[in-house]
Structure 1
Amino acid sequence: MSSKVRLQGTMRINDKGHLEIGGCDVVDLAASLGTPLYILDEALLRQNCRRYYQAFTGQNENDLVLYASKAFLVLAMARIIQDEGLGLDVVSGGELAIALTAGFPAEKIFLHGNNKSAAEIRYALRCGVGRIVVDNYYELELVERICGEMALKAAILLRIAPGIEAHSHSYISTGQVDSKFGFTMENGDALRAVKKALASPHFELKGVHCHIGSQILELEAFRLAGRVMMDFLAEARQRTGWTAEELDLGGGLGVYYSEGDDPPTIEEYARAVKESVADKCREHAFPRPRIIVEPGRSIVSPAGTTVYTIGSMKDIPGIRKYVAVDGGMTDNPRPALYQAKYEGIIANKAAEEAAEVVSITGRCCESGDMLIWDLPVPRVEAGDLLAIFSTGAYNYSMSSNYNALLRPAVVLVLDGKADVIVERETWGDLIRNHRLPERLL
């Protein structure tokens, strides 16, 4: 029985046998800040940003890396992304408001979304975002009308569905023909959208965008996306005379969550993307467009760890031992949504060998509230601390108050210093927006 797990970033097991992140003892963090607790390793986070910057922008100053805010965005995160020279991809007025409140430059923000409201579009135009990524004909007409009302010209990209089936969970595959996102290439909608955008005095059509899915572990899918999109741009030039300046290939690079995951490196991903575009530029005698990518998970996921306190246990001899923690699908819905797999360690017994195999269940009133099946651990007791790795992406951002549970705090750790960047919710926060009608008083 093995309890070996992959420690990432600044993680280590200290002299007390405790898990340590960013020079901070996880046991001490839990004692002072409570659990569940999201811990963010700032050194690893910045390292991932710098690797992306060097692989793209550092090699070609015209290329751009946008951090996909939906993975995790709070004020401190926006500041770190700005420090590291990356732009932001936002998908709502709320994400845009967080970015702008943090002082992020609007011209380095791209607004996405398949059903943006008129209010969000006006907000983005007033703020001067760098690009609006238009998703469908309804939105094309809506943005055009609002630009007319505001006497503005919007720099836009058109989101294209390139018909590529990425090998990931169906809920996070987005580039195929049968997708809610983008103008379909196969039936001619994408080319018609290009012609419509070019005909409008209210648009500056800078290029096109695609995103083929998330948690992709095979480079060939990214190479294919680059080739397909460049073929489309060459056809659009032939049909309209328009030469795209920008090609946004989205994000989707996978990360290590558990045994069996073997993601490409950031550098391998960058080479695959750039080489596929360069090959097609030569084939079509097409000027190389500015390449834009939108990583989220591969920047922040490995830098995040969630710590829980173990409570009740249920041992069914010969079948399974359930070990419950003080969080669950409210702070990490991914196992319930996507059957996502994780690894973890008992943070206060990190140096001990595994003695049993348990299944980690959350505290929600749902049989599907399971975080990890079959985790080798030392003999566990109530009060032990469980740390689950690679929870930086789509955990806090997808958290909820189901069962009226409170969202955890988020702490940023670096060189032995711990800074709370999101306070733990209180019961007062939970009911702050509730109202009692007069007739019920």
Structure 2
Amino acid sequence: MHFYGSAKINNRHHLEIGGVDTVELVEKYGTPLYVYDVALIRERARGFRDTFKRLGIKAQVAYASKAFSTIAMVQLVKEEGLSLDVVSGGELYTAIAAQFPTEKIHFHGNNKSIEELKMALDYQIGCIVVDNFLELHLLMDLCEQKDTKTQILLRVTPGIEAHTHDYILTGQEDSKFGFDLQNGQAEKALRMALESDRLEVLGVHCHIGSQIFDTTGFVLATKKIFEKLNEWKSGFGYISTVLNLGGGFGIRYTQEDEPIPASSYVEEIISEVKNQVVKYNMELPEIWIEPGRSLVGDAGTTLYKIGSTKEVPDVRKYVAVDGGMTDNIRPALYQAKYEAVLANRPLDEVEEKVSIAGKCCESGDMLIWDLPLPKADNNDVLAVFCTGAYGYSMSNNYNRIPRPPVVFVENGITQLVVKRESFDDLIRLDVALKEQVKL
């Protein structure tokens, strides 16, 4: 079994994370429980940030907070000197509550509301990534109303889709995001933005995919963007001072995954940007990237209590846990794969393959198929690895199940950063029917 970060087997033969025994965590906080290895988050953040610094490149590493957004997480991002990428009013509000420096906040989204844009302008955030023509018009009008200016990036679709090791080059990318580079949309948007005295167009942004395990897609996207930037330079004298190449850097969920170090992504991106700058005789732009999953994904572990079992002869054995698609919807949503061990006896000999079922009233609520485990009973704790991204952030109250708490662990110290929801929390916003009075 591959362990991540500070995770190891301690002298009690229990799984330990951040110097804390996971069995003790369960005794203190209950299950299900999200546990984050803070030292590993710091290590991942520094892997991106320090590579730019070592190579002397002006850059911003913005944590894509959609992966996992809480006040404590935003505070940790601030401690590590990163910028912050938000995609909703709620994520922006969380950042403000965490007292994150607003000049280092970037706001994404394909359908930002008027209220969200007003909020972004009122807090004078660093950059708004403009996604479409409606947003461009709204932003210009709001800036006029508020007698203010704002910095923007134009999100473009370069015609490259990347996932894992597959790359697809398309003339016009079929995406709900951004201005297409090939059909004239991007030029039209740039002209509109440059004609406004309320907008400062820093540059362009693209995001080519997720769980990407090499640098080919980023190189191809960089080449296509610079081709267009050269046209814009000669066509109407526009010089991009920022190039944001997004995120999508892959992590290891199972033995099948083979991610590369953060430094390798950064070094290859810098190398290609430098190549293009020389080719087109341009100034080196500031490079921005947006790691999300790659900062928190493998730093998160979810702990469950084993519950009931069901054996279907000659088919499979189901082992149920006290969570499921309410705390991790990824397996049900897109067949995500995970690895797991019994946290209280990880060294015991594997005796069978079982399928880990959630407790929701859905046959599709399955967390892991065909997991090798020792024989498990309802005194055992299951630790599912690499649940730090899109676990808590996509959690829900299906079947009226309260969401789990979140605990940070570092150097033997635990800190509760999100409380467990109660049944009272579930009905807090409910409004009872008024008694009907017959006339």
Same fold at TM > 0.5: yes
User: For residue 400 of structure 1, what is the aligned residue in structure 2?
Assistant: 396
Deviation at 1:435, TM superposition (A): 0.3
- Within 5 A, what are the aligned runs for 1:161-200? 161-168=157-164, 177-200=173-196
User: Does residue 249 of structure 1 match 2:241?
Assistant: no
Q: Is the 8 A contact 1:174 1:211 kept in 2?
A: no
Describe the shift of the 1:338–1:56 C-alpha distance in structure 2 as closer, same or farther (beyond 3 A).
farther
CA distance in 1 between counterparts of 2:395 and 2:436 reads 31
Q: Does the alignment pair 1:127 with 2:151?
A: no
Distance 1:342 1:46 in 2: 23
Please give the per-residue CA displacement for 1:384-420, whole angstroms capped at 9, x wherever unaligned: 1100001110000000001101100000001111110
CA distance in 1, matches of 2:87, 2:401: 26
Deviation digits for residues 316-335 of structure 1 (CA, Å, limit 9, x no counterpart): 12111111100001100111
Corresponding residue number in structure 2 for 1:224: 220
Alpha-carbon deviations, 1:22-68, whole Å to 9, x = none? Answer: 11110110011000000000111111111111012453352110000
Counterpart of 2:200 in structure 1 is 204
Unaligned runs of 5+ in 2: none
Q: Residue 312 of structure 1 aligns with which residue?
A: 308
| Match of residue 157, structure 1, among 153, 157, 172 | 153
Of the candidates 80, 94, 100, which is equivalent to residue 96 of structure 2? 100
Question: In 2 relative to 1, CA 221–40 (structure 1 residues): closer, same or farther, beyond 3 Å?
Answer: same
Corresponding residue for residue 435 of structure 2: 439
Paired letter, 2:237: G
Q: Report what 1:339 is aligned to.
A: 335
Alignment partner of 2:161: what SS? coil
- Select 1:65's aligned residue among 45, 61, 64: 61
CA distance in 1, matches of 2:331, 2:240: 40
Equivalent of 2:371 in 349, 372, 375: 375
> What is the 5 A alignment of 1:283-432?
283-432=279-428
2:255 and 2:315 map into 1 onto residues whose CA distance is 23
TM-score norm. by structure 2 comes to 0.96
**1:263-285, Cα deviation, whole Å (9 max, x unpaired):** 11101100111111111111111
- After TM superposition, give the deviation of residue 437 of structure 1 in Å: 2.9
Normalising by structure 1, report the TM-score: 0.96
Report how far residue 175 of structure 1 moved: 12
Aligned pair in 2 of structure 1 residues 11, 258: CA closer, same or farther (>3 Å)? same
Aligned residues between the structures: 435
Amino acid at match of 2:155: R
- Tell me how far apart the structure 1 counterparts of residues 170 and 103 of structure 2 sit (CA, whole Å): 26
Cα-Cα RMSD: 1.7
* Post-superposition offset of 1:177: 0.4
Listed as ranges, the gaps of 5+ residues in structure 1 are none
**Cα offset, 1:438, TM superposition:** 1.6
Alignment partners' CA distance in 2, 1:36 and 1:59: 43
Counterpart selection for 2:38 from 17, 22, 42: 42
SS at match of 2:369: strand
2:17 to 10, 17, 21: 21
TM-fit CA distance, 1:174: 12
Distance 1:64 1:37 in 2: 33
SS at match of 2:263: helix
CA distance in 2, matches of 1:48, 1:421: 20
| Residue 440 to residue 68, structure 1, CA distance change in 2 (3 Å) | farther
Determine helix, strand or coil for the equivalent of 2:221.
Answer: helix
Q: Is the 8 A contact 1:302 1:391 kept in 2?
A: yes
Is 1:264 paired with 2:281?
no
Change (3 A) 1:13 1:389: same
For 1:175 and 1:349, how far apart are their aligned partners in 2?
54
Whether the 8 Å CA contact 1:328–1:371 is kept in 2: the answer is yes
Tell me the amino acid that sits aligned with residue 284 of structure 1: Y
Paired with 2:86 and 2:12, the residues of 1 have a C-alpha distance of: 42
Is 1:118 the counterpart of 2:114? The answer is: yes
Question: SS at 2:162's partner residue?
Answer: coil
Contact 2:172 2:183 in 1 (8 A): no
**SS of match in other structure, 1:429:** helix
Q: Is the 8 A contact 1:406 1:430 kept in 2?
A: yes
Identity %: 50
1:311 alignment partner, SS class: strand
How far residue 89 of structure 1 moved from its aligned partner, in angstroms, is 0.3
Aligned partner letter, 2:277 = C
| SS of equivalent residue, structure 1 residue 348 | coil
Any idea what the Cα deviations from partners look like across 1:169-209, whole Å, max 9, x if unmatched?
99xx9997000000011211111111111111111111000
Contact 1:175–1:213 (Cα < 8 Å) also in 2 = no
Report deviation, 1:439.
Answer: 2.9
SS in 1 for 2:337: coil
